């Protein structure tokens, strides 16, 4: 559907200001928290917030709360998004202000990912103990087995495998398994576990969930268990995970429902405080997957978090064809 002339004028007016165009340029790269945008633009928070408000009112961007933080992202699809993408394509590649913003975004990202990597390297040995702080492990494992289905699977891929728990849980339903992780320390532990448990059909590899380098449609079960909330761009991770799912295959994501335990950001490097069903479903849809089931596991105690398990499939029809 097109836009009315007045609507188009309003959108151009909202985007037609240097700082606002820079904000749009940043959000075209990834969703960001207000304080990150402020840090990158090096402008006062009230000023940045005014620009964000205008862009939100024009429908060019969306805001969404995550605990006490407020995040922003580009509005989803449709003519507004196309207009923005076209406008941003016309920004010269060597524009010094946009180039500096991109460098600063990269620095913010690197800082985040260094902190998270250091956290996992530091805590690899006690990961199993840390992991079970907020949830009943047995219940989650039973629900994951249920959501994955009996198989047998030809090939399962576990992204952000950590100490390899999902491989250990599901590998006997698959002919072969592959666990990928960014942390060498985590991989060392996963390798030891795999050997001890005799998981001969499982391989462990160093790799990044954002760019796995694995072939498209190469697995019939892809698992992303308790990884998304650490990531700078969970939508991109879901898209990459979905790319690996072959027609008829299944993607299983386990993570937290939205919560308010702010201390987890500092103490355990969580970036996002859980995910709403609608957000995950939108990412599934964007990746050409069809939702299959959603399970919710309430916390074991009143300090705890609700674990969600979302599954989706790539239908073996043209609708679910890989884009």
Residues of this chain that interact with ligand SAM (CB under 6 A) are 116, 120, 131, 160-163, 165-166, 180-183, 186, 208-210, 225-227, 230
What are the distances in angstroms from CA 126 to CA 123, 140, 162? 5, 19, 11
Q: Which of 320, 308, 246 is nearest to 280 (CA)?
A: 308
Return the DSSP state at 276. Answer: -
- C-alpha span between 67 and 304 (Å, rounded): 15
Nearer to ligand SAM, 73 or 131 (CB): 131
Nearer to ligand SAM, 38 or 183 (CB): 183
- C-alpha span between 23 and 302 (Å, rounded): 39
Please enumerate in sequence order all residues whose Cβ is within 8 A of that of 253, keeping only pairs 6 or more positions apart, or say none: 223, 224, 225, 228, 238, 241, 280, 309, 310, 311
Tokens of 190: 């996963």
Min dist CB 232 to ligand SAM, Å, is 9
Return the DSSP state at 171. Answer: G
Min dist CB 257 to ligand SAM, Å, is 16
Using only the alpha carbons of the chain, give its radius of gyration.
21
Task: Please report which helix (H) or strand (E) contains residue 251, including its range.
Answer: strand 245-256
CA-CA-CA-CA torsion sign (229, 233, 236, 237): negative
Nearer to ligand SAM, 13 or 192 (CB): 192
Nearer to ligand SAM, 15 or 253 (CB): 253
Min dist CB 51 to ligand SAM, Å, is 30
Min dist CB 224 to ligand SAM, Å, is 8
- C-alpha span between 186 and 206 (Å, rounded): 10
Nearer to ligand SAM, 55 or 204 (CB): 204
Nearest residue to ligand SAM, scored by beta-carbon proximity? 162
Nearer to ligand SAM, 51 or 193 (CB): 193
Min dist CB 182 to ligand SAM, Å, is 4
Min dist CB 259 to ligand SAM, Å, is 15
Min dist CB 186 to ligand SAM, Å, is 4
Nearer to ligand SAM, 55 or 219 (CB): 219
């Amino acid at each position: 559907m097109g836009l009315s002339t007045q609507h188009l004028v309003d959108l151009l007016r909202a985007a037609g200001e240097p700082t606002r165009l820079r904000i749009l340029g940043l959000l075209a790269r990834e969703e960001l928290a207000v304080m990150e945008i402020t840090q990158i633009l090096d402008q006062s928070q009230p000023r940045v917030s005014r620009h964000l408000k205008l862009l939100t009112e024009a429908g060019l961007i969306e805001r969404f709360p995550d605990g006490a933080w407020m995040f922003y992202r580009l509005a989803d699809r449709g003519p507004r998004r196309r207009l923005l993408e076209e406008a941003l394509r016309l920004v010269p590649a060597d524009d010094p202000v946009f180039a500096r913003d991109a460098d600063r975004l990269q620095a913010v990202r690197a800082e985040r990912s260094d902190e998270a990597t250091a956290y996992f390297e530091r805590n690899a040995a006690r990961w199993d103990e840390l992991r079970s702080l907020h949830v009943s492990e047995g219940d989650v494992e039973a629900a994951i087995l249920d959501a994955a289905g009996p198989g047998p699977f030809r090939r399962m891929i576990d992204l952000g495998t950590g100490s390899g728990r999902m491989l250990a849980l599901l590998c006997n339903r698959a002919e072969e398994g592959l666990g990928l992780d960014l942390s060498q320390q985590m991989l060392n532990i996963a390798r030891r576990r795999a050997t001890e448990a005799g998981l001969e059909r499982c391989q462990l590899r160093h790799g990044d969930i954002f760019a796995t380098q694995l072939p498209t449609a190469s697995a019939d079960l892809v698992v992303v268990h308790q990884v998304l909330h650490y990531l700078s761009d969970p939508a991109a991770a879901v898209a990459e995970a979905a790319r690996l799912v072959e027609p008829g295959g299944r993607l299983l994501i386990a993570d937290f429902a939205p919560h308010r335990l702010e201390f987890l950001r500092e103490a355990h490097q969580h970036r996002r405080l859980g995910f709403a069903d609608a957000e995950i479903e939108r990412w599934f849809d964007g990746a050409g997957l069809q939702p299959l089931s959603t399970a919710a596991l309430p916390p074991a105690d009143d300090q705890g978090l609700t674990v969600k398990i979302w599954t989706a499939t790539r239908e073996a029809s043209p609708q679910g064809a890989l884009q």
